[in-house]
Amino acid sequence: MLKSLDELKEIAAKYNNCSNTLKKRVIVCAGTGCVANGSLKIYNELVQKINEAGIDCIVELKMEEHNENKILVSESGCQGFCQMGPLVTIEPDGIHYVKVKVEDVQEIVDHTLVLGKPIDKLLFVDPLTGEHCVHTKDIRFYNRQSRKVLGLCGHINPSDVYEYIAKNGYQAAFKALAEMTDKDICEEITYAGLRGRGGGGFPTGRKWELTRIQKSDKKYVICNGDEGDPGAFMDRSVMEGNPHSVIEGMIIAAKAIGADEGYIYVRTEYPFAVKRLKIAVKQAEELGLLGENIMGTGFNFKLHVMEGAGAFVCGEETALMSSIEGKRGMPKPKPPFPAQSGLFGKPTVINNVETLASVSQIILYGAKEFRSCGTENSPGTKTFAMTGHVANTGLIEVPFGTTIREIVYNIGGGVTLSDGTISSNGLKAVQIGGPSGGCLTTEHMDMPLDFDSLSGIGAMVGSGGLVVMNKDTCMVKMAHFFMQFTQNESCGKCIPCREGTKQMLALLEDIIEGRATEETLDILEELAKAVQKGSLCGLGKTAPNPVLSMMTQFREEYETHVIQKKCPAKQCKALLSPQIIPEKCKGCGLCVKACPVNAISGVRKEVHYINEELCIKCGACLETCRLNAIVGV
């Protein structure tokens, strides 16, 4: 049981000394994406092949043993470069291998671990320069980021508390518990300008101070790990890759508000996050970093890991607390706010994963250091899950104020087109903030991204989802996708959200199916604004954001759907008129068999024809033709 800062530092020094004696360390990404692609099989194969090569291989670093000339094979959390997984890195060389397969393991052992030579076919090739990137630092996806919250993710074993301690882990918690008052902590977080990374951007220090001043015999700290945005996986990756950073942040928050109990609420669809969080909590308890009299400071804090059932609405704080209390996850009107009456009616602070993972850096290195990057009103960095039509999808972290151009073209490597090529000018839009966010166009390429600039154009940072869309994307279908998600996830408690989102979805379907009139657009816009104003919680209030944003930025595309009954991106089947290209048609007859209304005719092995009066535009012939002889216009 640790009783002092000296003991904490002694463990750190001992672990680092032990680690420095290793011959090499092989780190296999065990984030969800890489595991799905077989990284655990690669891990097991590495251990087997290294032992067969006569090299002393270990899978756990034990400080009481001699580790000279041994190779440590360890798992890590998400390394971020999801598009290129499974990922394997070799330290201290810094060699970074991508798209590794089990059959590559023997060559890695023979050439890299024994001879120290990189393997060209496993190196990342920069799509713009064609260069092979040997080291992680050579890859633009990594070297153009500023990884602070994600700094240890992908580098440390998330299930080894000693490795976290070796990286100055829990020193901030000791400083907060032993050297600072609750007011000192709140003031430091306030001065740092840390704002909630879960979506709203509310000042964290202010939230803590509002809870601190409440008089109560019991207070709670809750970590909101119920990440549910489509395509978002920032919080999951932090919980999987560095769970102790979240725990340390919660300890500091508990001291700041006077809480002695906390909950990490994480969706059950994140099995690796749940498993590693539970291991981390158990390890912290065994070392006296959690529980009674933490590190001899006299402060008590008990922490629970609770699995949620996956309802998107439970990301809303009052619904989340209802779920923890064993009730149905439904939002409640505010006030009272959680700071006044939260979990079980007691003052409660709720922060998301990324916010809490940022806290220890502020306490340990100071608010001034934290404010050294980012913007004046949005200090620090933000993680984004970049998906969609972009060459390098994955998890990134950049300072607030970074532009879309930098993110998409430099870190992301460019926009991918429908034919698989990468373009430097193929961007149509970027959806930021997930189903609660807004749409950015090429006009916003050089706008610095922060809380204030985005809110000024009807968008929001949100939790950090970033969906890149190329010029072949139909913006009406994208709005329909996000509205379908929020409508399905509505808890149904309030009428504006329950019925309003359903009617908005129906209106979007009318546009896609060709049934809409010009009046449909006016009704859709009016209804969206009514849902925004009348809904009870953040889900309903922000659900219309993508629709309104896309209607504003791409009004002409919506009008083309409605007035001309055409989809400019040629994605809406009901608005496509199939035509046969005579030069390509071989008269195979497959389209004739596929057509449900017998609108296609022709002699076998000769050019066929489509009767436009009979055609119902179902798209069956487009999907069936193997020669690409039928196109939609």
136, 153, 165: which is closest to 61 by C-alpha?
A: 165
Check pLDDT > 80 for residue 464. yes
Domain boundary among 343, 370, 397: 370
Identify the pLDDT of residue 592.
93
Q: Which of the listed residues 140, 173, 194 is the one where a domain comes to its end?
A: 140
The DSSP line for 142-208 is HHTS--STTSSTTTS-TT-HHHHHHTTTTHHHHHHHHH--HHHHHHHHHHHT-B-TTTT--BHHHHH
pLDDT digits (tens, 9 = 90+) for 581-620: 999 999 999 999 999 999 999 999 999 999 988 988 888 8
CATH label of the domain that carries residue 461: 3.10.20.600
The pLDDT mean for the chain works out to 93
Q: How far is CA 153 from the centre of its chain?
A: 13
For helices 495-513 and 475-489, give the axis angle rounded to 10 degrees: 150
446 and 484 together in one domain: no
**349 in the same domain as 454:** no
Q: Output phi, psi for 175, to 5 deg.
A: -60, -45
Nearest to 197 by CA among 386, 354, 376, 402: 354
Does residue 453 have a pLDDT over 80?
A: yes
* Cα 268 from Cα 266, distance rounded (Å): 6
Residue among 122, 117, 118 at smallest CA distance from 84: 122
Cβ atoms 497, 457 nearer than 8 A? no
Q: Residue 264: what are its φ and ψ, rounded to 5°?
A: -105, 110
Examine the domain organization and report whether 461 and 589 are in the same domain: no
Residue 337 DSSP label? P
Segments of 497-623 assigned E as strands: 578-580, 600-601, 609-610
Name the DSSP class of 449. Answer: P
CATH number at residue 606: 3.30.70.20
pLDDT reported for residue 139: 95
The answer to whether 567 and 573 are in contact (CB under 8 A) is: no
Query: Is there a domain that residue 444 lies in?
Result: yes
Write down the pLDDT at residue 232.
Answer: 81
Q: Answer yes or no: do 483 and 590 share one domain.
A: no
State the pLDDT at residue 436. 81
Quick one: 504 and 432 in the same domain? no
Q: Is residue 570 part of a domain?
A: no
What residues have CB less than 8 Å from 430, skipping those under 6 apart?
A: 404, 408, 439, 440, 441, 444, 466, 467, 468, 469
Going by C-alpha positions, the residue among 190, 191, 230 that lies closest to residue 209 is 190
Q: Residue 492, exposed/middle/buried by CB under 10 A (0-12, 13-18, 19+)? A: exposed
Residue 396, both tokens: 């990134």
Question: What is the structure's pLDDT at 258?
Answer: 97
Instruction: Answer yes or no: is 244 within a domain.
Output: yes
Give the single-character DSSP code of 297: S
**Interhelix angle 182-192/204-212, nearest 10 degrees:** 160
Query: Which pairing describes strands 427-432 and 422-423: parallel, antiparallel, or unpaired?
Result: unpaired
Q: Is residue 296 part of a domain?
A: yes
- The answer to whether the pTM exceeds 0.85 is yes
Residue 434 pLDDT grade (very low, low, confident, very high; cuts 50, 70, 90): confident
The total of structural domains in the chain comes to: 5
Whether residues 219 and 337 share a domain: the answer is yes
CATH of the domain at 529: 1.20.1440.230
- For residue 201, how many C-alpha atoms fall within 13 Å in the half-sphere facing its CB? 20
The strands making up 394-399's β-sheet, listed across from edge to edge, are 394-399, 381-388, 465-470, 427-432, 438-441
In a domain, 327, yes or no: yes
* Amino acid residing at 548: L
In a domain, 68, yes or no: yes
Q: Does residue 206 share a domain with residue 136?
A: no
Query: Residue 128: which residues within 8 A CB-CB, separation 6 or more?
Result: 413, 414, 422
Residues 591 and 585: their CA atoms lie apart, in Å, by 10
Same domain, 299 and 203: yes
Looking at the predicted structure, is the pLDDT value of residue 199 above 80?
Answer: no
Distance CA 320, CA 494 (A): 17
CA pair distance 306, 35, nearest whole angstrom: 23
E-strand ranges in 520-604 read 578-580, 600-601
> Between 71 and 422, whose confidence is greater?
71
Output the pLDDT for position 423. 85
pLDDT tier at 312, thresholds 50, 70, 90: confident
Q: Does residue 436 contact residue 545 with C-beta atoms inside 8 Å?
A: yes
169 and 281: one domain?
yes
CATH number for the domain that contains residue 256: 3.40.50.11540
Identify whether 47 is part of a domain: yes
Residues 6+ apart with CB under 8 A from 185: 176, 208, 252, 255, 256, 363
* DSSP annotation of 127: T
pLDDT in tens, 208-250: 999 999 999 999 999 999 987 877 889 999 999 999 999 999 9
Neighbouring residues of 468: CB distance < 8 A, sequence distance ≥ 6: 386, 387, 388, 389, 390, 408, 412, 415, 427, 430
Nearest to 358 by CA among 256, 248, 451: 248
Domain final residue pick, 370, 397, 413: 370
- Judge contact between 67 and 22, C-beta under 8 A: yes
* Contact assessment for residue 229 and residue 282, using Cβ atoms and an 8 Å cutoff: no
Residues 226 and 348 in one domain: yes
Q: How confident is the model at residue 474 (pLDDT cuts 50, 70, 90)?
A: very high
At residue 102 the predicted structure's pLDDT band, cuts being 50, 70 and 90, is very high
Percent of the chain with pLDDT over 90: 80
Question: Chain-centre distance of CA 62, in angstroms?
Answer: 33
- How big is the chain by its Cα radius of gyration, in Å? 27
> Do 328 and 207 belong to one domain?
yes
Query: In which domain, by residue range, is 497 found?
Result: 476-564
CB 348 within 8 A of CB 222: yes
Of the pLDDT bands very low, low, confident and very high (cuts 50, 70, 90), residue 510 is: very high
Please indicate, yes or no, if residue 124 is contained in any of the structural domains.
yes
Q: Does residue 393 share a domain with residue 324?
A: no
- 454 pLDDT band, cuts 50/70/90, is confident
CB 145 within 8 A of CB 402: no
